[in-house]
Structure 1
Amino acid sequence: MKFSMCTAVYGMNDLQDTINRAAKIGFDGVEITTAFHLPVGSSKEYRKTVKSWIEDAGLECSGLHYIFDGSVKLATPDRNLNQKCEEYLEKVIDVAADVNARTVIIGSGGATRHIDDGVDRLEATKCMADVIHKAGKYAAEKNVVLAVEAINRYETNFLNTMKEATEFAQMVDHPSVRTMADTYHMNIEEVVPEEEVRKYGHMLANLHLADSNRHAPGTGHFDFKAVAKALKEIGFEQYCSFEVFGLYPWKLWFDSVEEADRQMKIGIAHAHAAFDNL
């Protein structure tokens, strides 16, 4: 199993330093937090520089996450907003291609994905599926996969479970559009997470690892060994990325890079123990 680290773990720390820390701790790749570190407005030259930092550290760019900046709406029947969202996704895909990222994670809670009150839910779903199908065609040209993430009910009212994300990806109906799961969200939404992996894991393009407290694996009560066993049974060979947050009221990341280092060291040791001894 290959493990990647989301750069958001280190907040707004210098990106090159964060990449080098990931390599030193023992990760195989980094997942770039787009909104923080590589926005769609970034220059081609800067993207080339970031790509060189990743390669010089001996890592891969496993994907992009936290791709939305609040300027677009995902689930809406408004055709003008649909067009704007499609154009934005194409820009994100361009960023991914420029840093050789294999996956773009379509996550996002809050207003971006929320289906507003009074909106026809089926029509909004169909429109979002159409937008992502078109983006999937563009992604295929760039050798990028889009992964629609299942996110818990407290962050969005749309696509909360692996089943729902899988059914939506099937509605999109494009080979470059798959799904994404996160053990933190699974802990909330799935009754028996490993069984859902067995049922719907065939569509996974990536898996986020975070414990029940959203800190590093090994600091909460989530059963990573059970999920690791299920992933092995279905032949999952994609990246598992550490999306771990501090969850303070005023910010997401930890108080210091040293605390982030400590979390990552605990997490990767626990992940190896769960995945490598099957």
Structure 2
Amino acid sequence: MKFAICQELFVDWDWEKQCNLIAEIGYKGIELAPFAFADRPSDISAEQRAAIRKTAEDRDLEIIGLHWLLAKTEGLHLTTNNTEIKKNTADYLIELGNLCADLGGDLMVFGSPFQRDIEEGMSAEQAYENAAEVFQNSLPAIAERGVRICMEPLTTKETNFINTCADAMKLIDMVQADNFVLHQDVKAMLGAETESIPELIQKYDTKVGHFHVNDSNLLGPGMGETDYHPIFKALKESRYRGWISVEVFDYEPGAELIARDSFRYMKDVWESV
């Protein structure tokens, strides 16, 4: 299995320093938050994209893709009725797809809870239709660059749109695009699902395009109460062959400690199951 880490954890670290530590710990992949590099993808020149990619590759690291796709943006939304906003959102996703491919990645995780919330007075069915329209208008161009969008269920504490794997699969089935797949996140599954995580891994094992690891305490794997032995055992037994990527939301212990402890725990558990 290949382990990666989401790099926005390294607040105020320059890119070279991030890559040096991530590679030294033993990770093989880095997942980028676009806002960590520029306000918009178009602000990152072709030369800058090549340099970002080369810095990672020189350290035997792969930039696997992007997440937090609509974070820190204005005027973009997935489920709105506003035709112009839907078009702008689809166009922005295409921009991100080009950035992802230029950096060597092939996946984009769609979380962005605030930019997908169902507006007051809108039915859930209308929200699904609007979201499907945005993805249908962006995914073909993204596919041409060899990039997938992985739809991430989030808890009801974060958003009122797509809270379970079943919810995500409903939208995926509506869109009918080969490069639109399911994303699974441990924290989200702990907080939103009635089935166990191993059961969900088994149930959707042919649908999952990416997998995030963390804990309900917002720290990394092994830094909370979640036992990863049954989770990693289920992943080993499933048909999932993608990345396992660390995503945390509480940075207080410090980036290096979180990165090291998470990797050490994952490696030990993976080798023991």
Aligned residues: 268
Instruction: Give the alignment partner of residue 222 of structure 1, picking from 217, 220, 226.
Output: 226
Aligned to 2:264: 269
| Contact 1:30–1:63 (CA under 8 A) maintained in structure 2 | yes
Match of 1:133 among 136, 143, 147: 136
Letter matched to residue 248 of structure 2: V
2:172 corresponding residue in structure 1 = 169
Q: Which residue of 1 aligns with 2:244?
A: 240
Report the AA paired with residue 65 of structure 1.
Answer: H
Give the conservation status (yes or no) of the 8 Å contact 1:152–1:189: yes
* Residues 9, 248 of structure 2: 8 Å contact kept: yes
TM-score by length of 2: 0.94
Identity %: 27
| Cα distance between partner residues in 2 of 1:263 and 1:184 | 16
* Structure 1 partner of 2:102: 98
Question: Does the residue aligned with 1:97 lie in a helix, a strand or coil?
Answer: helix
Does residue 150 in structure 1 map to residue 153 in structure 2? yes
Q: Structure 2: 5+ residue runs without aligned partners? A: none
Cα deviation for residue 201 of structure 1 reads: 3.0
On the 8 A contact 1:15/1:37 being kept in 2, the answer is: no
Partner Cα separation in structure 2 for residue 12 and residue 169 of structure 1: 36
Counterpart amino acid of residue 271 in structure 1: M
Shift of 1:147: 0.6
Equivalent position to 1:182, from 177, 180, 185: 185
Q: Is the 8 A contact 2:182 2:209 kept in 1?
A: yes
TM-score by length of 1: 0.92
The answer for the alignment partner of 1:4 in structure 2 is: 4
Tell me the amino acid that sits aligned with residue 129 of structure 1: A
Note if 1:23 corresponds to 2:38: no
Following TM superposition, by how much is the alpha carbon of 1:260 offset from its aligned partner in structure 2, in angstroms? 1.4
1:154-184: CA deviation from partner (whole Å, max 9, x where unpaired): 1111111112112211211100110111111
Contact 2:221 2:266 survives alignment (8 Å): yes
Indicate conservation of the 8 Å contact 1:96/1:103, yes or no.
Answer: yes
- Whole-Å separation in 2 of the counterparts to 1:175 and 1:19: 32
Encode CA deviations 1:18-55: one digit per residue, 9 max, x unaligned: 12211011101100111222541221111111011110
1:124 positional shift: 2.1
Structure 1 window deviating more from structure 2 (87-96 vs 184-193): it is 184-193
Q: Map 1:15-94 onto structure 2 (within 5 A).
A: 15-38=15-38, 39-40=40-41, 41-68=43-70, 69-71=72-74, 72-94=76-98
| CA drift at 1:245 | 2.3
Q: Does the Cα contact within 8 Å between 2:7 and 2:32 map onto a contact in 1? A: yes
* Cα distance in 1 for residues equivalent to 2:126 and 2:260: 45
Aligned-residue Cα RMSD (Å) equals: 1.4
Q: Is the 8 A contact 2:37 2:44 kept in 1?
A: no
State the alpha-carbon separation in 1 of the partners of residues 261 and 17 from structure 2: 20
C-alpha distance in 2 between matches for 1:136 and 1:229: 33
Amino acid at match of 1:24: E
